[in-house]
Amino acid sequence: MQSKITAILVDDENSSREVLKDLLESFFQEVELLGEAESVDSAYELIKAKQPQLVFLDIQMPKQSGFNLLKKFDELPFEVIFVTSYDQFAITAIKFSALDYLMKPVEVKDLRDAIARAKKSIERKTKTTVQILNLLKSIDENKERKIAVHAGESVKLLNESDIICIEADGRYCSISTTTNERYITAKYIKDFEEYLGMDSELVRIHKGCMINSRHIKEYSKGDPCIIEMNNGRTFEVARRKKVEILERVKK
């Protein structure tokens, strides 16, 4: 008989916990619920007492967020599936850390996919601790952003400062690094802009490309404005972006 995944629910709204509990009991017999918590402090005590393998964690809670719960642990001995109402910043940060989230109201299909991935991580003992730590750093504005990319069976975290450029390719983007590595990720350029923010060294030079101003070797003053990177690649700056880009470069 296949062993069950032990789990707890953390959400300040009783109605939300009841909905998720009903879905789990109706459709996911492989998940054994050990308890529920309505706050960060009660969840922390419940986790220490029950030691679940999986935590369904609401992000928006009064006084302290779900992220505050994770910060209480030096190591995370459990997998996390985030549950959230619409919060674009949190969702973007979660996506870029290659972690799972569910939007309220939770759909059975989305729940099934998230549980399947969590189960695989638990069985393979491939903890997502590194990705969660990256998420916690990414929501701290004083920390350098990292971007999670899939490399075979593992997830690699790229430092923002190590990226040369990000180029759009249909529904995907190609990321090139200072070590001449290239990664493909299922995100749009606008997703990177939103995640990295206005203070990022990565700047958008035209519709389909961002470059890292840290790695610019030289640029031409005339039209068209051509930028050469330290690795020898050249890019043309859109005319409407020229003034903005050159100001960023000078800084």
Q: Where are the domains of the chain?
A: 5-138, 158-250
Chain-centre distance of CA 245, in angstroms?
27
Chain-centre distance of CA 73, in angstroms?
19
pLDDT band (50, 70, 90) for residue 125: confident
Please check the confidence at residue 1 and state whether its pLDDT lies above 50.
Answer: no
Q: Which range, of 43-47, 49-53, 130-134, 139-143, averages the lowest pLDDT?
A: 139-143
Going from the C-alpha of 161 to that of each of 169, 184, 193, the distances in angstroms are 22, 18, 15
Q: Give this prediction's pTM.
A: 0.65
Averaged over 196-207, what is the pLDDT?
86
Is-contact 20 43, C-beta < 8 A?
Answer: no
User: String of b and e for 18-36 (b: at least 16 CB within 10 Å)?
Assistant: eebeebbeeebeebebbbb
DSSP E strand stretches across 85-207: 100-103, 146-151, 154-159, 163-169, 172-177, 182-185, 202-206
CA distance 129 to 151: 17
Please check the confidence at residue 126 and state whether its pLDDT lies above 50.
Answer: yes
Residue type, 124: R
Averaged over 70-82, what is the pLDDT?
89
Is-contact 69 57, C-beta < 8 A?
Answer: yes
CATH architecture of 158-250: Beta Barrel (2.40)
**Domains 5-138 and 158-250 are alike in CATH topology:** no
Q: What was the pLDDT predicted at 243? A: 85
Q: Which range, of 3-7, 48-52, 100-104, 127-131, averages the lowest pLDDT?
A: 127-131
**Kind plus residue range of the DSSP H or E element containing 28:** none
Q: What was the pLDDT predicted at 141? A: 56
Averaged over 81-87, what is the pLDDT?
82
The first and second tokens of residue 217, run together, are 């070797």
Q: Is the dihedral of CA 70, 76, 78, 82 positive or negative?
A: positive
pLDDT band (50, 70, 90) for residue 91: confident
Mean pLDDT of the chain: 87
Stronger pLDDT, 137 or 159, i.e. the higher one: 159
Report helix angle 88-96 to 189-196, nearest 10.
110
Q: What was the pLDDT predicted at 124? A: 80
5-138: which CATH topology? Rossmann fold (3.40.50)
Averaged over 55-62, what is the pLDDT?
88
Residue-wise pLDDT tens digits, 219-235: 988 888 999 999 999 99
Interstrand relation of 225-229 and 216-219 (parallel, antiparallel or unpaired): antiparallel
Instruction: Give first-to-last CA distance, the chain, whole Å.
Output: 63
Stronger pLDDT, 16 or 64, i.e. the higher one: 16
pLDDT band (50, 70, 90) for residue 26: very high
